[in-house]
Amino acid sequence: MPYDPSAFPPFAVTVDLVVLTVRRHALCALAVRRGEPPFQGRWALPGGFVRADEDLAQAAARELAEETGLRAHDPSVPVQDNGAHLEQLATYGDPKRDPRMRVVSVAHLALAPDLPAPRAGGDASNARWAPVDELLQQGGYGRDGEPVAPLAFDHAQILADGVERARSKIEYSSLATAFCPTEFTVGELRRVYEAVWGVALDPRNFHRKVTGTPGFLVPTGGTTTRQGGRPAQLFRAGGATLLNPPMLRPEV
């Protein structure tokens, strides 16, 4: 294993982002349209090169800010204010994943509350929140009936891995609150779980579970009626990051 500088092949290193949010009861991911070949005109995950003096997490946070305006949290700090949760997902390095050169991409996963509208270099038509189901279906048709092209590069795989990570992680952590605004109701949190898992949950058992787990939610004292119906208590995310026992995802 000598580190002879002439003995190793050079790589380009990028970060790609799986930015997830919940909009209109659906789990959505941020997609940007590629403006140049390869895969010109196709949708892709946002990302970019890691700079020479930058850590991987810094690069991911910078890209996230550039694409969405979101600040990333320090991962060691519990979810708070309107920053996004950001964590490393996995690294993809197939020699043929980019037809032009050898690129290793360190994918990151970001979870954000519902945001107004994406901006990508100021051009709204080149960035959008798309339901992950729509982005992942291969060769199907979108909700508007137009044919859906698969994501560029290996981004479908990266997105699928990110979604799976998010689905499993909200089971045993308090990460689902990262999809919520600073103050939220139990019902809003439940709708997050329902959107991410794609299932219906019993409101009564869910309420018992989340309010009974110490440190998960702290009441702010306020109430809201923005969902209609009886006013609901408002909560903030508590300090607990791990849920024990976990939230159980219903079978199949």
Partner DNA sequence: GATCATAGTCGTCTGCTTGACGATAAACAC
Partner DNA sequence: GTGTTTATCGTCAAGCAGACGACTATGATC
Q: Which residues bind DNA (CB under 7 A)?
A: 185-188, 190, 202-205, 207-209, 211-212, 225, 227-233, 245-248, 250
Contact in structure between 187 and 193 (CB atoms under 8 Å): no
Nearer to DNA, 58 or 172 (CB): 172
The minimum distance between CB 171 and DNA, in angstroms, equals 10
Report the partner that residue 93 touches, choosing among DNA, a second copy, none (CB closer than 5 to 8 A by kind): a second copy
Nearer to DNA, 168 or 205 (CB): 205
Q: Return the structure tokens found at 99.
A: 């037809």
The minimum distance between CB 220 and DNA, in angstroms, equals 12
Nearer to DNA, 100 or 204 (CB): 204
The minimum distance between CB 226 and DNA, in angstroms, equals 9
Spell out a b/e string for 136-165, using b for 16 or more CB atoms within 10 Å of the CB, else e.
Answer: beeeeeeeeeeebebbbbbbbbbbbbbbeb
Report the partner that residue 209 touches, choosing among a second copy, DNA, none (CB closer than 5 to 8 A by kind): DNA
3-state secondary structure of 63: helix
The minimum distance between CB 11 and a second copy, in angstroms, equals 5
Nearer to a second copy, 100 or 204 (CB): 100
Binding site for a second copy (CB under 8 A): 1-3, 5, 7-13, 36, 47-56, 88, 90-95, 98, 100-102, 104, 106
Report the partner that residue 232 touches, choosing among a second copy, DNA, none (CB closer than 5 to 8 A by kind): DNA
Report the partner that residue 11 touches, choosing among DNA, a second copy, none (CB closer than 5 to 8 A by kind): a second copy
CA–CA separation, 201 and 250 (whole Å): 8
Q: Which residues contact 180 (CB under 8 A, 6 or more apart)?
A: 113, 188, 189, 192, 237
Report the partner that residue 117 touches, choosing among DNA, a second copy, none (CB closer than 5 to 8 A by kind): none
Nearer to DNA, 71 or 208 (CB): 208
Contact in structure between 223 and 145 (CB atoms under 8 Å): no
Report the partner that residue 36 touches, choosing among DNA, a second copy, none (CB closer than 5 to 8 A by kind): a second copy
CA–CA separation, 66 and 245 (whole Å): 38
3-state secondary structure of 50: coil
CA–CA separation, 29 and 20 (whole Å): 5
Q: Which residues contact 10 (CB under 8 A, 6 or more apart)?
A: 102
The minimum distance between CB 77 and a second copy, in angstroms, equals 19
Contact in structure between 12 and 101 (CB atoms under 8 Å): yes
3-state secondary structure of 135: helix
Report the partner that residue 187 touches, choosing among DNA, a second copy, none (CB closer than 5 to 8 A by kind): DNA
